[in-house]
């Protein structure tokens, strides 16, 4: 028995066309979540390239006076400059962590493919790991540029980037998903 011809499958309107292409709906969903992650990682890298082309290190451009600036700073460590003052080993450590995340998080998405909030969260975290991981692997440091502060209160939040924001949003979404699951279980 021969495989059905594409035109025959299309004209019959059957599901044979999907089978012919060996398209698995879960693979399509995984592809969509990874495409979202890739888009965010590309936006992160493009924004960093733009800031690097426009600003000098330490330069600030006021966007909302007293609240929000663009600046150019570099972080050799992790969140909040954790381990930034070390001798350089942290570059390779965090690069390896990002590389591990690049493989583990898509696998985790396949395990939670029927839970869209978890998939979105993992895609966000994956994109951030890729964006900051590329910086560390290539430059040995992460480019940060968003600076939120309240000058009147002498409050300055550490500068961050789109990848940092994606990771943070992903963690918040995972916590929200867990809370919703906990409430659902508690009600039953």
- Per DSSP, 59 falls in state -
User: Which is it for strands 155-156 and 60-64: parallel, antiparallel or unpaired?
Assistant: unpaired
What interhelical angle do 116-139 and 25-54 show, nearest 10?
Answer: 40
Neighbours of 24 (CB within 10 A): 11
Q: Which of 44, 69, 135, 164 is catalytic?
A: 164
H-type alpha helices, the chain? 6-12, 16-21, 25-54, 89-111, 116-139, 162-187
How far apart CA 125 and CA 51 sit, in angstroms, is 22
The contacts of residue 59 (CB under 8 Å, 6+ apart) are 71, 72
Q: Which of 44, 69, 135, 144 is catalytic?
A: 144
| Residue that is written with structure tokens 């951030």 in the block | 128
The contacts of residue 35 (CB under 8 Å, 6+ apart) are none
Sheet holding 142-150, edge to edge: 60-64, 68-75, 142-150, 155-156
7 is catalytic: no
Catalytic machinery residues: 144, 164
């Amino acid at each position: 028995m021969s495989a059905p011809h594409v035109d025959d499958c299309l004209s019959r309107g059957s599901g044979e066309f999907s089978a012919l292409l060996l398209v698995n709906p879960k693979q399509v969903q995984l592809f969509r979540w990874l495409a979202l992650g890739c888009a965010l990682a590309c936006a992160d890298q493009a924004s960093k390239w733009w800031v690097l082309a426009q600003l000098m290190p330490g330069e600030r451009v006021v966007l909302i006076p007293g609240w929000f600036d663009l600046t150019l700073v570099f972080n050799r460590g992790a969140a909040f400059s954790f381990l930034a003052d070390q001798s350089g080993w942290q570059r390779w450590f965090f690069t390896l962590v990002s590389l591990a995340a690049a493989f583990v998080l898509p696998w985790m998405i396949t395990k939670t493919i029927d839970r869209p909030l978890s998939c979105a969260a993992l895609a966000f975290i994956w994109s951030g790991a890729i964006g900051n991981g590329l910086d560390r692997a290539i430059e040995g440091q992460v480019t940060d540029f968003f600076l939120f502060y309240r000058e009147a209160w002498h409050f300055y939040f550490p500068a961050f980037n789109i990848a940092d924001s994606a990771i943070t949003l992903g963690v918040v979404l995972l916590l929200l998903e867990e809370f919703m699951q906990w409430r659902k279980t508690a009600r039953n």
